Amino acid sequence: MAILVTPQSRILVQGITGSFGARHAQLSLDYGTQVVAGVTPGKGGQFFEHGTHKVPIFDTVEEAAKQTGATVSVVFVPPPFAADAILECNDAALDLVVAITEGIPVFDMVRVKQKMTGSKTRLIGPNCPGLVTPGEGDKSFGGCRIGIAPGYIHKKGNVGVVSRSGTLTYEAVWQLTSRGFGQSTCVGIGGDPVNGTSHLDILKMFNEDPETEAIIMIGEIGGAAEEEAAAWAGAHCKKPIAGFIAGATAPPGRRMGHAGAIVSGGKGTAAGKFEALRAAGIAIADTPSVMAETLLRHWGKL
């Protein structure tokens, strides 16, 4: 069943004619993702061609969704225009918009959050790697790959992965796959301070998903999202969870990588997050290299 997207989901790509968007649209098509439309203002009526695929390009998200039945968009639009690209999906009442763009101004994202309050459209990101629901087969082709994650490392299975970090998502997935354990859905929620979907949102979805039997949750310093998710999981989630928090050695007050990974005023520390995870009964991986091993031991698979 998976969460958020399935191999049948119909995807449109905003920014499909740019070099970055084009490259990842090609990789998604190779993976078997149902990329049914592209959106680039001024290039409506053209086509994005890759192999045997001929994807129509539209001037607007509304037109693309109406003509192709797309319900999900992935945004590869430069930072100055990305907020409006997200809001265009909201106006078109899509189910999901995945914003890959890094460097969107915080004020723009505050505006997006305000306008999307109460909307049916869910936002993943920004500054995220996207999500993957693996398909069948040795390399999980025929799945749904939205964003920039390497599809070939995934394997269909029963572990849900949620993370603020792209590279740590890939590391957790590869560790699981290498041990023969596949994934239901892997979600990179992004590391910006103002984003759409949180750890807590994804944990709730995994908890309700019958296909997901265990969870890896990867966080980092900054904010209180991991603590909130852990508190909920401790009270409501019966599935085994392993967690890792990145940035334990980061100096206070200095941003480390992600814009949201900053400890200020004594809040958002790694120590506080580890304490919250332990209190919730979540198994803690001491280093990134043992994330899968930690989950499998906690799950009783080792």
Look up residue 32 and give its two tokens.
């078997």
- For residue 222, is it within any domain? yes
Same domain, 169 and 99: no
- For residue 2, is it within any domain? no
Nearest to 244 by CA among 181, 185, 164, 179: 164
Q: Which of 81, 105, 124 is the last residue of a domain?
A: 124
Same domain, 109 and 175: no
Catalytic residue among 24, 154, 199, 258: 258
Same domain, 169 and 224: yes
Nearest to 217 by CA among 207, 208, 177: 207
- Burial class of 283 by CB neighbour count within 10 A (0 to 12, 13 to 18, 19+): buried
CATH number for position 38: 3.40.50.720
Distance CA 285, CA 63 (A): 46
- For residue 132, is it within any domain? no
- For residue 137, is it within any domain? no
Total tally of structural domains belonging to the chain: 2
Look up residue 219 and give its two tokens.
């966080």
Same domain, 168 and 86: no
pLDDT of the chain, 302 residues: tens digit per residue:
689 999 999 999 999 999 999 999 999 999 999 999 999 999 999 999 999 999 999 999 999 999 999 999 999 999 999 999 999 999 999 999 999 999 999 999 999 999 999 999 999 999 999 999 998 765 556 899 999 999 999 999 999 999 999 999 999 999 999 999 999 999 999 988 889 999 999 999 999 999 999 999 999 887 788 999 999 999 999 999 999 998 776 666 555 555 554 544 445 777 888 899 999 999 999 999 999 999 999 999 98
- For residue 53, is it within any domain? yes
Same domain, 182 and 69: no
Which residue type occupies 121? T
Q: Indicate the pTM of the whole model.
A: 0.93
* pLDDT computed for residue 223 by the predictor: 79
Tokens 């928090």 label which residue? 245
CATH number for position 213: 3.40.50.261
Distance CA 136, CA 125 (A): 27
Look up residue 137 and give its two tokens.
């087969």
- For residue 162, is it within any domain? yes
In terms of residue numbers, what domain contains 211? 155-299
Tokens 């790509």 label which residue? 13
- For residue 133, is it within any domain? no
Look up residue 199 and give its two tokens.
């750890």
Same domain, 49 and 113: yes
Distance CA 58, CA 80 (A): 21
- For residue 148, is it within any domain? no
Q: What is the CA radius of gyration of the chain?
A: 19
| Known active-site residue 154 | no
Evaluate whether 245 touches 222 at the Cβ level (below 8 Å): no
Tokens 């290299």 label which residue? 289
Same domain, 293 and 162: yes
Tokens 């814009």 label which residue? 259
Distance CA 225, CA 78 (A): 27
